[in-house]
Amino acid sequence: MSTFSSRCVLAIFTMAAFTAFQIFFLRNRATSIVVPGIVEQNNLQKKLPSALIIGVRKGGTRALLDGIALHPLVRIVRHETHFFDINYGKGIDWYAEQMPSVGENEVVIEKTPAYFTNLKTPARVFQMNPGMKIVLIVRHPTYRAISDYTQVFYNKLELNKALPNLEKEAFTFWNGTQVLDDTYKPIRNSLYDIHISNWLKFFPLENFLILNGDVFRGNPYSELQKLESFLGLEHQIDHSQLVFDKRKKFFCFKKTTRIRCLGESKGRKHRPVSQQVFQNISQLLAPHNERFFSLINRTFLWD
Ligand SMILES: *[C@@H]1O[C@H](CO)[C@@H](O)[C@H](O)[C@H]1NC(C)=O
Ligand SMILES: *[C@@H]1O[C@H](CO)[C@@H](O)[C@H](O)[C@H]1NC(C)=O
Ligand SMILES: *[C@@H]1O[C@H](CO)[C@@H](O)[C@H](O)[C@H]1NC(C)=O
C-alpha cells in the first residue's frame, strides 16, 4: 500500500474513532437521553424530555406549561406530540425531531394530557426513561367533568352534530341503581384513581409531582415554585411575570416583553348543569376520590 493511501486510511479511521468517541461522550454526559447524530451548531442538541405533563385534561396543563416556560432553563414542546398514545409507531427519532434544540443545562418538558388516561403510555414512558419526572395537575373532578363536557359540547356545535346532554350521558343504571357511565369520556377522565393506578404499576410515587389546579388558577406562583424544585431548578420565576387578565379572570405569563395568554377556548363559561346532576356526579365520584387520595397519600378538598 502506498504511503498516501495508508495515510488516508489512517485519517478516516481517526475521524471515525473521534466521531464514535463524541457520540459516546455526549450520550454519557447529558442527564436525559441525547439523540446521536442530531447534534447542531452552537453546542445545541436535540434532547428528549426529562419531564412530562401527563394531565389532567381541562386541569390547566396549557397554562402550567406556559408558566414553567418562564424559567430560563426550561424549554417546552409547544404542541401536544401524542407520542406515547397515538404516534408511538413513528419511532423515537420522530419524537426527538419534535424536541427543541437545547443547551446542556436546559430541561425539556412535553405535555400531552391524554397520557394520563391512556393505558399503553405508562409502560412506554418507563421503557424510554424509568427516571422520568411525571407532572399531574388535578382539579375538582366534578368541575373537570363539566369543563370536559363543555368542550365536547362546543366541538359538536361547530361540527353541526347532535348536542350531548350531561344529565343523560353521565349516568347509567345497574340493577335499578343510578351509577356513573364510565364509558362516557368526560366522566371517565375524572376517575383519577383508575388512571393513577395504571401509572403506579410502573413508577413509584416519588417520580410524580401532583399539583392542585384549583390553587394554580388563583395563585400560579406557589405551584410553579413546586415545579421548579421538582425539576431540580433554582427558583427564577418572578411574581412580576404573572399578569392577571381581569376580563378572562386568569393569569397570563410575561417572558421578556411578550405576554402569553390562553386561547379563546380556554376558561370558557361552563354549560349549565343542574344542582341535582352536580350533586349526583359528585356523590358517585366520591369513592373514586377517596381511593385516589390513598393511592397518592394526599387529600384534596373536593366536596
Ligand atoms: C339487585 O338489586 C336487588 C334489589 O335491590 C338485590 O336484592 C340484588 O342483590 C341486586 N343484585 C346484585 C347482583 O347486586
Ligand atoms: C340523583 O340521585 C337521586 C338519588 O339516587 C335520584 O333519585 C335522582 O333521580 C338523581 N337525579 C339526577 C338528575 O340524576
Ligand atoms: C404519607 O404521607 C405522610 C405525611 O405526609 C408521610 O409521613 C408518609 O411517609 C407517607 N407515606 C407514604 C407511603 O408515602
Summarised one tens digit per residue, pLDDT across range 38-95 is: 555 567 899 999 999 999 999 999 999 999 999 999 999 999 999 999 999 999 999 9
Tell me the backbone φ, ψ of residue 263, rounded to 5 degrees: -70, 170
Q: Is 276 in the pocket of ligand 2 (CB under 6 A)?
A: yes
Say whether pLDDT at 129 is over 50: yes
Question: Rounded to two decimals, what is the model's pTM?
Answer: 0.85
Q: What is the pLDDT of residues 182-192, one digit of tens each?
A: 999 999 999 99
| Nearest-angstrom CA–CA distance, 261 and 79 | 15
Give, for ligand 2, the residue of 166, 171, 178, 278 to mutate: max count of ligand atoms closer than 8 Å to Cβ. 178
Residue nearest to ligand 1 atom 11, measured at CA: 175
Residues contacting ligand 1 via CB (< 6 Å)? 175-176
**Of ligand 2's atoms, which has the minimum distance to the CA of residue 171?**
14
Largest CA distance in the chain: 93
**pLDDT over 60 (residue 293):** yes
Residue the block writes with cell 430560563: 72
Lowest-pLDDT choice from 123-137, 207-221, 229-243, 266-280:
266-280
- Cell numbers linked to 141: 373532578
Name which residue sits closest to atom 14 of ligand 3, judged by CA: 297
Q: Which residues contact 53 (CB under 8 A, 6 or more apart)?
A: 61, 64, 65, 109, 110, 111, 112, 113, 135, 136, 137
Q: Name 74's bridge partners.
A: 107
Which amino acid is it at 110?
E
Do residues 298 and 205 lie in contact, with contact meaning Cβ atoms separated by under 8 Å? Answer: no
